[in-house]
Amino acid sequence: MGPSASPAGHFVVLYFAAAASYTGKTSEHLASPMAAGELFGRLEQLYPGIRARVLESCAVTVNLQYINLDGDDAEGARVLLKEGDEVAIIPPVSSG
């Protein structure tokens, strides 16, 4: 996994914990470019119900940096997901 693994015109999305259970995958490639604000909608199309069940309690990172997708005018929504980016869906954590 990782940015170099993406085919041309795609970024990779990593799924962890409940997100991996729901999708049945640990990662997949989606077509780039895409505004980050459209990501959850795209995933809802692919996995009906995932938004309410999983994504609404998740954070999102792009190339190991968190972006803010909370609220309709969140600045993170305008981040462009580009070819080769590594995007990750981060469910609530549970270490310890």
Partner 1 sequence: MSATEPPTYQPAVPSTPITRSTPKIHVELTPDPLNPQEATTFVRSPSAGATVLFIGTTRDSFNDLPVSSLAYTSYAPLAINTLYSIAESILQKHECTKITIVHKLGECPIEEESIVIAVSAKHRQAAWRAGEEALEETKKRAEIWKLERFEGGEGVWRANRDGVMGVRVEDEGIQTEGGGVNGPGTAGTGGT
In whole angstroms, the minimum distance from the beta carbon of 20 to partner 1 comes to 5
**What's 91's DSSP letter?**
P
Say if residues 47 and 20 touch (Cβ distance below 8 Å).
no
The site string for partner 1 over 22-51 (x = CB under 8 A, - otherwise) reads: xxxxx--------------------x-xx-
Q: By CB under 8 A, name the one of 4, 8, 64, 72 that touches partner 1.
A: 64
Closest to partner 1 by CB, 9 vs 49, is 49
Residue 3 near residue 63 (C-beta atoms within 8 A):
yes
Structure tokens at 18: 């409940």
